[in-house]
Amino acid sequence: MRVLKGVLKVRSIEDDRVFHRKGGPVTGSAVREAHEFTCKKAEIDDFHFHDFRHTCINNWRKHGHDYFKIMAASGTRTISVFKRYNMVDEAELRTLVESQENNNLNMGGTDSPSKENADESKAAESSSAAIV
């Protein structure tokens, strides 16, 4: 039982901060230094801590979350700033086009009018020209 109590020992927190480093609060410079160290060790160039914000905002959007909720959670105050963080990639555009093509096929539509539809359009044009 004594071993369990030793393992489960909880230290008291004299601070209202959640994250600590060596008994002190985690500072912005400590986060920056850790990020820079990790990028250097992983041989990653041109990756800034702020890039996580872009990634998070894009991931939330891709998962279908409402723009206004994303803006509130990320502290983005205007739609113009949100648009700067929001990156639509080629794969998303391809999905959009493919879904429209599938929608056209399901509705019986085609990219080009059929001969029957073209004949109906010509007949409608000639009858409206006769009215004028």
Which range marks the domain in which residue 59 is found? 31-111
Can you spell out the DSSP letters for 7-31? HT------SS-S-EETTEEPPHHHH
Alpha-carbon distance of 75 to 82, in angstroms, equals 10
Residue 22 covered by a domain: no
Task: Indicate whether 127 belongs to any domain.
Answer: no
Read off the pTM.
0.54
pLDDT in tens, 82-122: 988 888 889 988 988 888 888 877 776 555 545 555 555 55
Task: Tell me if 44 is assigned to some domain.
Answer: yes
For the chain, how many structural domains are there in total?
Answer: 1
Is residue 18 in a domain? no
- Within a domain: residue 5? no
Residue that has been written with the tokens 């648009």 in this structure: 83
Residue 10 in domain: no
Residue of 13 and 59 predicted with greater confidence: 59
Interval 97-108: pLDDT, tens: 888 888 877 776
Query: Is position 11 within any domain?
Result: no
* pLDDT at 59 > cutoff 70: yes
With bands split at pLDDT 50, 70 and 90, how would you rate the model's confidence at 7? low
